[in-house]
Chains A and B, each alone.
Chain A
Amino acid sequence: MKWLLVAIIVVCTTVGEVLQAKGMRAHGEIHDFRPGALGRVLNSIARNRMVVGSVVAMAVSFFAFMTLLSIEDVSFAVPATAASYVLETVLAKLILKEHVSGRRWAGASLVACGVALLNRS
Protein backbone atom coordinates (compact mmCIF):
# COMPACT_ATOMS: atom_id res chain seq x y z
CA MET A 1 0.00 0.00 0.00
CA LYS A 2 2.70 2.48 0.97
CA TRP A 3 4.62 1.96 -2.30
CA LEU A 4 1.42 2.42 -4.34
CA LEU A 5 0.95 5.75 -2.52
CA VAL A 6 4.60 6.68 -3.21
CA ALA A 7 4.11 5.87 -6.93
CA ILE A 8 0.99 8.07 -7.14
CA ILE A 9 2.79 10.93 -5.36
CA VAL A 10 5.90 10.70 -7.59
CA VAL A 11 4.01 10.68 -10.92
CA CYS A 12 1.57 13.46 -9.93
CA THR A 13 4.30 15.64 -8.43
CA THR A 14 6.48 15.32 -11.55
CA VAL A 15 3.60 16.18 -13.90
CA GLY A 16 2.53 19.04 -11.61
CA GLU A 17 6.01 20.59 -11.25
CA VAL A 18 6.76 20.61 -14.98
CA LEU A 19 3.31 22.01 -15.92
CA GLN A 20 3.68 24.65 -13.18
CA ALA A 21 7.11 25.80 -14.38
CA LYS A 22 5.92 25.88 -18.02
CA GLY A 23 2.74 27.76 -17.09
CA MET A 24 4.42 30.29 -14.79
CA ARG A 25 7.08 30.94 -17.39
CA ALA A 26 4.35 31.67 -19.95
CA HIS A 27 2.97 34.14 -17.40
CA GLY A 28 6.36 35.80 -16.85
CA GLU A 29 8.43 36.88 -13.85
CA ILE A 30 6.64 38.17 -10.74
CA HIS A 31 8.11 41.57 -9.75
CA ASP A 32 5.43 43.13 -7.53
CA PHE A 33 4.70 41.51 -4.15
CA ARG A 34 2.01 43.98 -2.93
CA PRO A 35 -1.38 42.31 -2.14
CA GLY A 36 -3.30 44.02 -4.97
CA ALA A 37 -0.70 43.09 -7.55
CA LEU A 38 -0.54 39.50 -6.25
CA GLY A 39 -4.35 39.34 -6.60
CA ARG A 40 -4.06 40.31 -10.28
CA VAL A 41 -1.33 37.69 -10.74
CA LEU A 42 -3.60 35.00 -9.21
CA ASN A 43 -6.48 36.10 -11.45
CA SER A 44 -4.36 35.84 -14.58
CA ILE A 45 -2.68 32.48 -13.78
CA ALA A 46 -6.07 30.95 -12.81
CA ARG A 47 -6.95 31.20 -16.53
CA ASN A 48 -3.67 29.53 -17.60
CA ARG A 49 -4.54 25.94 -18.56
CA MET A 50 -1.10 24.54 -17.67
CA VAL A 51 -1.20 26.11 -14.20
CA VAL A 52 -4.73 24.75 -13.59
CA GLY A 53 -3.55 21.29 -14.73
CA SER A 54 -0.59 21.50 -12.35
CA VAL A 55 -2.91 22.39 -9.44
CA VAL A 56 -5.08 19.30 -10.17
CA ALA A 57 -2.01 17.02 -10.33
CA MET A 58 -0.66 18.48 -7.09
CA ALA A 59 -4.02 18.11 -5.33
CA VAL A 60 -4.07 14.37 -6.16
CA SER A 61 -0.44 14.15 -5.03
CA PHE A 62 -1.30 15.98 -1.79
CA PHE A 63 -4.16 13.69 -0.74
CA ALA A 64 -1.99 10.62 -1.49
CA PHE A 65 0.78 12.25 0.60
CA MET A 66 -1.68 12.90 3.44
CA THR A 67 -2.67 9.21 3.35
CA LEU A 68 0.98 8.12 3.41
CA LEU A 69 1.77 10.45 6.34
CA SER A 70 -1.18 8.98 8.28
CA ILE A 71 0.56 5.55 8.30
CA GLU A 72 4.34 6.25 7.96
CA ASP A 73 7.16 8.28 9.60
CA VAL A 74 7.76 11.71 8.06
CA SER A 75 11.45 10.69 7.76
CA PHE A 76 10.34 7.82 5.49
CA ALA A 77 7.53 9.56 3.57
CA VAL A 78 9.37 12.70 2.51
CA PRO A 79 12.62 11.04 1.27
CA ALA A 80 10.61 8.31 -0.51
CA THR A 81 8.77 10.92 -2.56
CA ALA A 82 12.14 12.40 -3.59
CA ALA A 83 12.24 9.64 -6.22
CA SER A 84 10.53 12.24 -8.41
CA TYR A 85 13.63 14.40 -8.14
CA VAL A 86 15.85 12.89 -10.85
CA LEU A 87 12.93 12.49 -13.28
CA GLU A 88 12.10 16.19 -12.82
CA THR A 89 15.68 17.36 -13.48
CA VAL A 90 15.75 15.30 -16.70
CA LEU A 91 12.38 16.77 -17.74
CA ALA A 92 13.65 20.31 -16.95
CA LYS A 93 16.37 19.63 -19.50
CA LEU A 94 14.18 17.89 -22.12
CA ILE A 95 10.84 19.74 -21.93
CA LEU A 96 11.72 23.14 -20.41
CA LYS A 97 14.96 23.29 -22.47
CA GLU A 98 16.94 24.51 -19.46
CA HIS A 99 20.73 24.49 -19.76
CA VAL A 100 21.87 22.00 -17.09
CA SER A 101 25.65 22.37 -16.57
CA GLY A 102 28.10 19.61 -15.58
CA ARG A 103 28.34 21.05 -12.07
CA ARG A 104 24.56 20.94 -11.69
CA TRP A 105 24.42 17.35 -12.94
CA ALA A 106 27.17 16.44 -10.42
CA GLY A 107 25.27 18.14 -7.58
CA ALA A 108 21.97 16.58 -8.64
CA SER A 109 23.63 13.12 -8.76
CA LEU A 110 25.00 13.57 -5.22
CA VAL A 111 21.54 14.57 -4.02
CA ALA A 112 20.02 11.54 -5.76
CA CYS A 113 22.60 9.19 -4.09
CA GLY A 114 21.82 10.79 -0.75
CA VAL A 115 18.09 10.33 -1.26
CA ALA A 116 18.70 6.65 -2.17
CA LEU A 117 20.67 6.19 1.08
CA LEU A 118 17.90 7.92 3.06
CA ASN A 119 15.47 5.30 1.77
CA ARG A 120 17.66 2.40 2.99
CA SER A 121 16.63 1.69 6.54
Chain B
Amino acid sequence: MQATSSPAGVTKTRVVTAVVIVSNVLGDSILRAGLQQVGSLVAKPPVAYILALFNPLVALGVTMLVLWMLSHMALVSWADLSYVLPVTSIGYALVALAGRVFLHEQVSLARWAGIFLIVAGVILVGQTDFNTRCKVPPE
Protein backbone atom coordinates (compact mmCIF):
# COMPACT_ATOMS: atom_id res chain seq x y z
CA MET B 1 0.00 0.00 0.00
CA GLN B 2 3.06 2.30 0.18
CA ALA B 3 2.66 3.07 -3.53
CA THR B 4 -0.63 4.94 -3.01
CA SER B 5 0.88 7.21 -0.32
CA SER B 6 3.90 8.29 -2.44
CA PRO B 7 3.84 11.37 -4.74
CA ALA B 8 3.59 9.01 -7.75
CA GLY B 9 0.61 7.29 -6.13
CA VAL B 10 -1.12 10.63 -5.56
CA THR B 11 -0.50 11.62 -9.22
CA LYS B 12 -1.86 8.26 -10.41
CA THR B 13 -4.99 8.76 -8.29
CA ARG B 14 -5.55 12.30 -9.64
CA VAL B 15 -5.01 11.33 -13.29
CA VAL B 16 -7.34 8.30 -13.11
CA THR B 17 -9.94 10.37 -11.20
CA ALA B 18 -9.84 12.98 -14.01
CA VAL B 19 -10.33 10.26 -16.65
CA VAL B 20 -13.32 8.89 -14.65
CA ILE B 21 -14.97 12.36 -14.47
CA VAL B 22 -14.34 13.48 -18.08
CA SER B 23 -15.39 10.17 -19.69
CA ASN B 24 -18.60 10.13 -17.58
CA VAL B 25 -19.64 13.70 -18.52
CA LEU B 26 -18.86 13.26 -22.23
CA GLY B 27 -20.46 9.80 -22.30
CA ASP B 28 -23.77 10.94 -20.72
CA SER B 29 -24.06 14.09 -22.86
CA ILE B 30 -23.17 12.43 -26.16
CA LEU B 31 -25.48 9.47 -25.37
CA ARG B 32 -28.37 11.91 -24.72
CA ALA B 33 -27.67 13.70 -28.03
CA GLY B 34 -27.72 10.35 -29.87
CA LEU B 35 -30.88 9.08 -28.12
CA GLN B 36 -32.67 12.35 -28.98
CA GLN B 37 -32.12 11.36 -32.63
CA VAL B 38 -33.24 7.75 -31.99
CA GLY B 39 -36.43 8.64 -30.03
CA SER B 40 -38.17 6.97 -27.06
CA LEU B 41 -37.03 3.45 -26.12
CA VAL B 42 -39.79 2.97 -23.50
CA ALA B 43 -41.49 -0.45 -23.89
CA LYS B 44 -39.45 -1.18 -27.05
CA PRO B 45 -38.13 -4.73 -27.72
CA PRO B 46 -34.39 -5.48 -27.18
CA VAL B 47 -33.75 -5.20 -30.93
CA ALA B 48 -34.57 -1.45 -30.69
CA TYR B 49 -31.64 -1.06 -28.26
CA ILE B 50 -29.30 -2.92 -30.61
CA LEU B 51 -30.39 -0.73 -33.53
CA ALA B 52 -29.90 2.38 -31.36
CA LEU B 53 -26.27 1.36 -30.80
CA PHE B 54 -25.66 1.84 -34.55
CA ASN B 55 -26.40 5.57 -34.20
CA PRO B 56 -22.90 7.15 -34.35
CA LEU B 57 -23.50 9.46 -31.35
CA VAL B 58 -24.96 6.61 -29.25
CA ALA B 59 -21.96 4.43 -30.16
CA LEU B 60 -19.51 7.22 -29.22
CA GLY B 61 -21.35 7.86 -25.93
CA VAL B 62 -21.33 4.16 -25.04
CA THR B 63 -17.59 3.97 -25.88
CA MET B 64 -16.93 6.86 -23.47
CA LEU B 65 -19.01 5.11 -20.78
CA VAL B 66 -16.99 1.87 -21.26
CA LEU B 67 -13.82 3.94 -20.69
CA TRP B 68 -15.56 5.43 -17.62
CA MET B 69 -16.39 1.99 -16.21
CA LEU B 70 -12.87 0.60 -16.73
CA SER B 71 -11.14 3.64 -15.20
CA HIS B 72 -13.64 3.58 -12.31
CA MET B 73 -12.92 -0.12 -11.64
CA ALA B 74 -9.17 0.61 -11.58
CA LEU B 75 -9.66 3.56 -9.20
CA VAL B 76 -11.74 1.67 -6.62
CA SER B 77 -9.08 -1.08 -6.54
CA TRP B 78 -6.94 1.24 -4.40
CA ALA B 79 -9.04 4.25 -3.33
CA ASP B 80 -11.95 4.27 -0.82
CA LEU B 81 -15.45 4.23 -2.33
CA SER B 82 -16.33 7.00 0.14
CA TYR B 83 -13.57 9.13 -1.48
CA VAL B 84 -14.31 8.14 -5.09
CA LEU B 85 -18.09 8.75 -4.95
CA PRO B 86 -18.05 12.38 -3.68
CA VAL B 87 -15.08 13.48 -5.80
CA THR B 88 -16.47 12.07 -9.05
CA SER B 89 -19.85 13.66 -8.20
CA ILE B 90 -18.46 16.92 -9.67
CA GLY B 91 -19.62 15.16 -12.86
CA TYR B 92 -23.25 16.00 -11.90
CA ALA B 93 -22.41 19.69 -12.12
CA LEU B 94 -20.47 19.27 -15.36
CA VAL B 95 -23.30 17.25 -16.92
CA ALA B 96 -25.82 20.02 -16.12
CA LEU B 97 -23.42 22.54 -17.68
CA ALA B 98 -22.98 20.37 -20.79
CA GLY B 99 -26.78 19.94 -21.02
CA ARG B 100 -27.23 23.73 -20.82
CA VAL B 101 -24.44 24.68 -23.24
CA PHE B 102 -24.46 21.91 -25.85
CA LEU B 103 -28.01 20.49 -25.65
CA HIS B 104 -29.79 23.81 -24.85
CA GLU B 105 -31.63 22.35 -21.83
CA GLN B 106 -33.43 24.68 -19.36
CA VAL B 107 -31.42 24.70 -16.11
CA SER B 108 -33.29 26.50 -13.28
CA LEU B 109 -31.86 28.68 -10.48
CA ALA B 110 -32.53 25.81 -8.02
CA ARG B 111 -30.33 23.56 -10.16
CA TRP B 112 -27.46 26.07 -10.24
CA ALA B 113 -27.74 26.40 -6.42
CA GLY B 114 -27.54 22.61 -6.23
CA ILE B 115 -24.42 22.66 -8.40
CA PHE B 116 -22.82 25.18 -6.00
CA LEU B 117 -23.51 22.90 -3.00
CA ILE B 118 -22.09 19.89 -4.85
CA VAL B 119 -18.86 21.73 -5.71
CA ALA B 120 -18.54 22.90 -2.06
CA GLY B 121 -19.01 19.33 -0.85
CA VAL B 122 -16.50 18.01 -3.36
CA ILE B 123 -13.84 20.54 -2.24
CA LEU B 124 -14.43 19.55 1.42
CA VAL B 125 -14.05 15.84 0.70
CA GLY B 126 -11.05 16.41 -1.60
CA GLN B 127 -9.06 17.73 1.37
CA THR B 128 -9.20 14.34 3.12
CA ASP B 129 -6.83 11.43 2.53
CA PHE B 130 -7.92 9.08 -0.25
CA ASN B 131 -7.10 5.79 1.47
CA THR B 132 -7.94 5.44 5.17
CA ARG B 133 -7.68 1.67 5.39
CA CYS B 134 -3.86 1.66 5.67
CA LYS B 135 -3.89 4.58 8.14
CA VAL B 136 -6.21 3.03 10.74
CA PRO B 137 -4.23 0.62 12.93
CA PRO B 138 -5.79 -2.85 13.27
CA GLU B 139 -7.70 -3.39 16.49
Contact = CB atoms under 8 A, between A and B. Distances in A.
Interface of A: 1, 17-18, 20-21, 24-25, 27-31, 45, 51, 58, 62-63, 66-67, 69-71, 73-75, 77-79, 82, 85, 88-89, 92-93, 96, 98-101, 103-104, 106-121
Interface size class of B (residues with CB under 8 A): 35 or more
Contacts of B60: none
5 contacts: A21-B76, A75-B96, A110-B121, A117-B114, A121-B106
Contacts of A93: 82
Interface of B: 1, 3-4, 28-29, 31-32, 35-36, 38-42, 49, 52, 65, 69, 72-74, 76-78, 80-83, 85-86, 89, 91-92, 95-96, 98-100, 103, 105-108, 110-111, 113-125, 127-128, 132-133, 135-136
Given A25-B76, A62-B65, 7 more contacts: A69-B35, A70-B42, A85-B85, A98-B81, A106-B124, A120-B114, A121-B110
